[in-house]
């Protein structure tokens, strides 16, 4: 019996402590926490948008030179369609593609890739973009 009373008292004290802790936090601090998280969210969104724009630019630059355009046209792929498709990719898909395009450009500039290799990569990336977008629209 005595044990029950002690447990109940302890519980009451704990509850009181929790309530005091909750209400002891000054409203200004709560407001600050809210503002900080909002500012952080905004920063993250800006960073994500910036990263996406950078990735879009990387892929576009890779597919826009005359050589790339000729390669696409000779394979009966519409460069404009690829460009539109690229912009509808998810952030993650775009980041992966930009990474591949950037590496291919760097390797080509360093002489690690032949013209033929580059043509295959251009066609591969364009085909991948069109397939991903076709699958997205199908679902």
Structural domain of 104: 27-138
Longest Cα separation, the chain? 90
User: Cα 50–51–53 angle (5° rounding)?
Assistant: 65
Model confidence over 85-126: pLDDT tens digits? 998 999 999 999 999 999 999 999 999 999 999 999 999 999
Assigned domain for 127 exists: yes
Instruction: For tokens 């690829």, name the residue.
Output: 82
Residue corresponding to tokens 């909750």: 22
- 15 domain residue, yes or no: no
Give the total number of structural domains in the chain. Answer: 1
Q: For 5-23, how does the pLDDT look when each residue is reduced to its tens digit (9 = 90+)?
A: 566 677 776 666 566 666 6
In whole angstroms, what is the distance from residue 128 CA to residue 89 CA? 11
Is 117 within a domain? yes
Q: Is residue 1 part of a domain?
A: no
22-60 pLDDT tens trace: 666 666 666 666 666 677 778 888 888 999 999 999 999
């Amino acid at each position: 019996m005595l044990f029950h009373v002690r447990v109940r008292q302890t519980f009451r004290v704990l509850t009181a402590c929790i309530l005091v802790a909750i209400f002891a936090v000054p409203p200004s601090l709560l407001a600050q926490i809210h503002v900080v998280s909002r500012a952080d969210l905004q920063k993250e969104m800006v960073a994500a948008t910036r990263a996406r724009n950078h990735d879009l630019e990387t892929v576009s630059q890779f597919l826009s030179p005359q050589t790339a355009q000729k390669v696409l046209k000779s394979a009966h792929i519409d460069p404009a369609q690829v460009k539109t498709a690229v912009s509808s990719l998810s952030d993650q898909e775009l980041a992966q593609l930009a990474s591949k395009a950037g590496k291919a450009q760097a390797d080509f500039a360093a002489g690690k890739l032949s013209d033929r290799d580059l043509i295959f990569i251009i066609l591969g990336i364009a085909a991948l973009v069109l397939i991903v977008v076709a699958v997205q629209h199908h679902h």
